[in-house]
Chain A
């Protein structure tokens, strides 16, 4: 009897060590939008005259650290256009200034254009700039960058291998550099190409897009990195974009994007709901990949929600993830939620359905809201303008912390608004319930911060 009781005690101890409490702060359409607005404020305050942003700030030492990253610059532009799409004041002007900075760093060769400096340019910077300018095209209806978009699309297309992998770098003298891949550039390129097809449906961008989507869904993990599986929020954006393309059964061309800046995050129209017989262009392999990826975002959310700055979790779960890492989880899950809204196959096959996905994305947003530095918290610092609206990780913040957090907040804000609309005032997802926990695929740390 005593031995039995002891066994139970040991087992319950083991359970408690594995299953820590999960805490998801309340997220509402209001507080997520307020946090997004504060993040935009960080970008407008900390933009340089040339259109670049403060890259990294260490609040412990009160120093602005040197360095810059053009992939992240393009990512910030994209996020700010998303914010402009959501109607957040100041976002469009800041994004346009960032675009001007990028336009001065374009490399043109034949009919292709890439964004970058130096001899070797990354595919990622051009892909994110393409996605950002596509967002701008949709927000403003301004066609001024249409030729550039097509030209960058051709550059990205040129990076495809026969297997539809994306070569990460391009050399000004020798062209695409074989053998080098990036965990994120492939997903970024997928999204960029998918957006080009949404904007210009007659130009044939869907062909390379489908190839890349299939490669990511079926071969990439084996070909590039088997373990841990890539937590690819960019691919999730791409999947959501494809899901919103005109259906296979109806197969009518998408209308060219018009000007009205509807309050949506991207071209992916979340109100798009299809019947079972009205399939999106996603293939079964794409659906299966989306479900797998949702699982990765799910476990990352649960793991992150178990982190705490006190108690045993401090030792078993480590410090809070950077804003960028947590942001990508929210972005990715929200994108897959949009894909699920557009494709009933995904919505019905994913464990827990769309509600569970929305719950996890909302949990990530709730954590972002509570971890953002508020005006009052920043007031005591020497450079309050560098801290307010930011997310810090071990004392420093990097511009992509704000970028990914901003995109996640905007995406979740949209989920919450739609949920409220549909459930007409019933309480939204709050507090608990996301779930664990594998350190290997915990939210990315600074070193692994996605670009």
Chain B
């Protein structure tokens, strides 16, 4: 596996532009956004490091060669890219749209307000968490959202997980984990910027960037498949 290809594939599999709207939106929430993103990225890195560590053994146990794994991962990434490209942009995850940490009234408002969004986003499972969070529990709940849903299932998604596995088999545990960590760090980087207002030019640009990432991922996935097929 070409290392550059693996790195680009990892970044586009994470697709920070697609995930960005899911982070707490308000400009004044930057610190919280960063904390949540860091928790999510760190947790996902640990998880992916674990995957990288056992990748070779799992492959051996399954009697599958590295090249075949690459092809299979390429197929999964192809599906992921298709989803990222054609699906509607990810909607704000309710539990991630927390208000300023010490403002109970706004917390309540905001939580209520986003529950409906959650319904449309298909992440209703997280609405309950946010909804039950009281004032005292807001900080905890908000940071916990770095674990669920940010680390899992949003970051520890099959595409990135399997790509890390394949990269570990081909290029070693260190490279695979480092590439995954770098890719995940882009989510933390994106947390420096507040989400754009819906329907704004910036929101459109974010959506465009997310689709561009998906298109790049499609190319990377095709590259992996071809590479796997013509490997020896």
Within 8 A of B (CB), among A273-302: 292, 294-299, 302
Q: Kindly identify which residue among B60, B62, B73, B153 contacts A5, using a CB–CB cutoff of 8 Å.
A: B153
B11 CB, nearest partner CB in chain A, Å: 19
Contacts of B202 in A (CB 8 A): none
- The stretch of B99-107, B171-179, B185-193, B223-231 in contact with A is B223-231
User: Is the beta-carbon distance between B72 and A19 smaller than 8 angstroms?
Assistant: yes
CA distance A1 to B71 in the complex (A): 27
Q: How near does chain A come to B141, taking the closest CB pair, in angstroms?
A: 15
Determine if B131 is an interface residue (Cβ-Cβ < 8 Å): no
Residue pair A357, B123 in contact (C-beta under 8 Å): no
CB distance from A13 to the nearest CB of B (A): 10
Majority-rule SS of B interface residues: helix
A-B contact pairs, 11 of them (CB 8 A): A1-B149, A1-B152, A11-B76, A11-B159, A15-B162, A18-B71, A18-B75, A19-B68, A302-B67, A433-B65, A435-B232
Distance of A303 from chain B, by nearest CB (Å): 9
Contacts of A438 in B (CB 8 A): 229
Nearest residue in B to A18 (C-beta to C-beta)? B72
> How long is the Cα–Cα vector from A356 to B62 in the complex, in angstroms?
19
Number of A-B residue pairs, CB cutoff 8 Å, is: 115
A257 → chain B, closest Cβ, in Å?
32
Tell me, in angstroms, the Cα distance from A415 to B158 when the chains sit together.
40
A4 within 8 A of B: yes
Q: Which residues of B contact A360 (CB under 8 A)?
A: 232
Whether the pair A14, B232 counts as a contact (CB closer than 8 A) is no
Could you say which of A3, A4, A22, A294 contacts B65, with CB atoms under 8 Å apart?
A22
A2-B125, A436-B71 in contact; A295/B64 too (CB < 8 A)?
Answer: no
Known: A3-B125, A18-B75, A356-B232. A435 touches B63 (CB 8 A): no
Size class of A's contact patch?
35 or more
A319 interface residue (CB < 8 Å to B)? no
| B72 contacts across to A, CB distance below 8 A | 14-15, 18-19, 436
Which of B64, B71, B153, B228 counts the most A-chain CB atoms under 10 A from its CB?
B64
Does chain A have a CB within 8 A of B66?
yes
Contacts of B153 in A (CB 8 A): 1, 3-5, 7-8
Name the residue in B69, B125, B153 with the highest tally of chain A Cβ atoms < 10 Å from its Cβ.
B153
**Is B63 touching A22 in the complex (CB atoms < 8 A)?**
yes
Is the Cβ of A19 less than 8 Å from the Cβ of B64?
yes
- A2 to B149 Cα, complex, angstroms: 11
Are A8 and B65 in touch, CB under 8 angstroms? no
| Further pairs besides A1-B152, A21-B62, A436-B71: 13, Cβ < 8 Å | A1-B125, A4-B156, A14-B75, A14-B79, A20-B68, A298-B67, A298-B231, A299-B231, A352-B232, A435-B68, A435-B228, A435-B231, A436-B65
Query: Complex formed: what's the CA distance from A27 to B163 in Å?
Result: 33
Asked whether any CB of chain B lies closer than 8 Å to the CB of A351, the reply is yes
- Verify A15–B76 contact, CB threshold 8 A: yes
Give Cα A8 to B149, complex, Å: 14
A430 to chain B, nearest CB (A): 12
A3→B230 contact, CB < 8 A: no
Are B228 and A436 in contact, with the CB atoms below 8 A? yes
Q: How far is the CA of A7 from the CA of B123 in the complex (A)?
A: 13
Q: Which residues of B contact A294 (CB under 8 A)?
A: 232
Q: Does B122 contact A (CB under 8 A)?
A: yes
Roughly how many angstroms separate A295 CA and B62 CA in the complex, as a whole number? 23
Q: Is A312 an interface residue (CB 8 A)?
A: no
A299 touches B125 (CB 8 A): no
Question: A295 near B71 (CB under 8 angstroms)?
Answer: no
Q: Which A residue sits closest to B80, measured CB to CB?
A: A11
**For residue A21, which residues in chain B have a CB less than 8 angstroms away from its CB?**
62-64
* A239 CB → nearest B CB, Å: 15
Tell me the bound Cα distance from A22 to B125 in angstroms.
40
Judging by beta carbons under 8 Å apart, are B162 and A295 in contact?
A: no
CA distance A435 to B152 in the complex (A): 31
